[in-house]
Amino acid sequence: MMRRYIEIYSIMLRNSLIREIVFFSIIFGNVDRIGDWTKWEVVLLIGTHQMIAQFFQAFFFVNVANIPELVRTGKLDSLLVLPIDSQFAVSTKQFGLDSIVNAALGGVVVCVALSRLNIVPDLTSIFLYLVALGFGVAVHYSIMLALAAVSFWIVRAQGLVYGYFNFLNIARYPDAIFPWLFRLIFGWIIPVVIIANIPARLLIKSLGQPWWLMLHLIAASTIVFLLSRGFWRFALNRYSSASS
């Protein structure tokens, strides 16, 4: 059953990628820019979001989404007795190779956009971009882990997990379209907006201080990871006392 839902989400993401490119093509038929983003820069942003979302789905989504079911059925016990960290155990049980193929589609979109922009990134920009993709995946993982940990108190918490999977799609929109308060909240407290925007900016924008953007992404992702880690351990202690 879980596998079927994951396959459906993969199809939805591929279709969403096509719809978003068509949607922004229509918008740019009437305007030249959205904030400081041109048409092909937005296309690159969408491809970047596709890569991050699919890498997250390949490595973590199936596992994190299954945590509420493990808690509800008591099957979490079999993972807790393993001589490894419990968070690692529940996060790495399965791997989705098909999502890597979908991530490659996002990579093709990024390459096409770079070609249309006549941009050949230097090695530093490429390195920062790849590292930033990893931090973007970490943000998605951390937030969904925290939502999944709510299942220690709420029996049917999978709705929260799947709800966030839909919510993460705001990451594919240019940050310039959001008001400053929204960018503040979802750039630092729940740093969803920055996870695709910052990697894209590092790759294509002429910035004098790319390290400042990278520092923002590292700081925000580290904070949300540590908070989710702490909440997981807190929730796990609650589960242990309930099982004793």
pLDDT at 18: 66
How much is the pLDDT for 241? 45
Q: Could you tell me the pLDDT band of residue 167, with boundaries at 50, 70 and 90?
A: confident
Closest CA to 53 of 176, 157, 185, 143: 143
The predicted pLDDT at position 190 comes to 87
Per-residue pLDDT, averaged over 170-174, amounts to 86
Asked if residue 243 has pLDDT above 60, the reply is: no
At residue 212 the predicted structure's pLDDT band, cuts being 50, 70 and 90, is: confident
| Distance, CA of 158 to CA of 16 (rounded, Å) | 22
Angle (deg, nearest 10), helices 158-167 and 123-149: 150
Most confident of 102-106, 156-160, 225-229, 235-239: 225-229
pLDDT tens, residue by residue, 39-83: 899 999 999 999 999 999 899 988 998 898 888 888 888 888 888
CA gap 159, 150 in Å, rounded: 11
First to last CA, the chain: 31
Percent of the chain with pLDDT over 90: 38
Domain boundaries, the chain: 2-243
DSSP label at residue 66: T
Which band of pLDDT confidence, cut at 50, 70 and 90, is reported for residue 11? Answer: low
114-153 pLDDT tens trace: 999 999 988 888 999 999 999 999 999 999 999 999 988 8
Report whether pLDDT(174) > 60: yes
Euclidean distance between CA atoms 200 and 204, whole angstroms:
6
Residue-wise over 126-161: b if at least 16 C-beta within 10 A, else e?
eebbeebbebbbbbbbbbbbbbbbbbbeeeebbebb
Longest CA span, the chain: 64
